[in-house]
Amino acid sequence: MAAKRILVVEDDKAIRTGIVDALRFAGYEPFEAATFSQAVEQVERVTFDLLLVDLVLPGGSGLEVMGRARKAQPGVPVIAVTALGTEEARVDGLKLGADDYVVKPFSLRELIARVEAVIRRSAERPSDVRAVPVPGGSVDLSRREVRFNDGRRVELSERECELIAYLARNAGRAVSRSELLQRVWRLDTSGVSTRTIDMTVARLREKIGDDEARPHTILTVRGTGYMLASKP
């Protein structure tokens, strides 16, 4: 199983390095950003399993970073870090959407425990999209299979399931191939062929019963990428 990706947004180099080292030792794959602009670039380019963000950053607010992250990846869990230790400040942070709140100074052992707890709770949350309607049936995302009304069932690969789930979360919006590479394949788009996306879409269309020549569910947006029809 791939290591969970965690973005650490902290302007204090010593604190950031300590957190990154502790996360790596605990088996996570940490990424780091020291400023608001670096954090925004990261959340818009890479998919993460958790965001650990200081609320006070050079060049902007950690709360805005949280908002950008949630826009790019709805449901991503967030742990807010701050030097403000009042109860009112903690409550405000939780109201603004943080899953947990850590006050400086904190022990790395405590932080890792909180990270583990938030990721565990996140995995137990119901998915924002559980089923995707397709012609004559639906895709059960939890079971990774197409269930047709006539009783037939067709298994989907993990990538096919992730692809239709991402398109479903963005139904009615044209999603570019580069965005799919970043969000579904988790790849940097530089120098990467998008042919693999087209091939995956073709297989997925066949499995869900969508006509490759005249698709009605997964639509091709010429010059851009793909879009899931709002009402397949």
pLDDT of residue 112: 94
Please tell me whether the overall predicted TM-score, pTM, comes out greater than 0.85 for this model. Answer: no
Residues 115 and 136 in one domain: no
User: In terms of C-beta density within 10 A (0-12 exposed, 13-18 middle, 19 or more buried), how is residue 124 classed?
Assistant: exposed
User: In terms of C-beta density within 10 A (0-12 exposed, 13-18 middle, 19 or more buried), how is residue 195 classed?
Assistant: exposed
Residues 9 and 120 in one domain: yes
- Which residue among 124, 152, 177 closes a domain? 124
pLDDT of residue 107: 92
DSSP conformation class of 136: T
Residues 155 and 68 in one domain: no
Residues 110 and 211 in one domain: no
Residues 106 and 9 in one domain: yes
pLDDT of residue 38: 95
pLDDT of residue 84: 64
* Cα distance between residue 223 and residue 232, in whole Å: 22
pLDDT of residue 138: 92
Residues 84 and 151 in one domain: no
3-class state of residue 147 by DSSP:
strand
Residues 65 and 154 in one domain: no
* Alpha-carbon torsion, ordered 103, 70, 204, 195, to 10 deg: -90
* Cα distance between residue 215 and residue 45, in whole Å: 29
Range of the domain at 108: 5-124
Structure-block tokens of residue 187: 């790849």
pLDDT of residue 126: 46
Q: Is the peptide bond before 232 cis (omega within 30 degrees of 0)?
A: no
Identify the CATH number of the domain in which residue 157 sits: 1.10.10.10
Residues 75 and 135 in one domain: no
Residues 113 and 162 in one domain: no
- Which residue among 102, 124, 146 closes a domain? 124
Based on the structure, what is the number of domains in the chain? 2
- Which residue among 124, 149, 173 closes a domain? 124
Residues 18 and 120 in one domain: yes
* Structural contact between residues 6 and 31, judged by C-beta atoms closer than 8 angstroms: yes
Residue labelled with tokens 């604190």: 15
pLDDT of residue 86: 54
Write out the chain's pLDDT in tens, 232 residues: 568 899 999 999 999 999 999 999 999 999 999 999 999 999 888 888 899 999 889 998 888 898 888 877 777 889 988 876 555 655 555 556 678 888 888 899 999 999 998 888 766 554 456 788 998 999 998 888 999 999 999 999 988 998 998 898 878 888 888 888 877 887 765 555 678 899 999 999 999 999 888 999 999 998 889 999 865 4
Residues 190 and 220 in one domain: yes
Residues 12 and 118 in one domain: yes
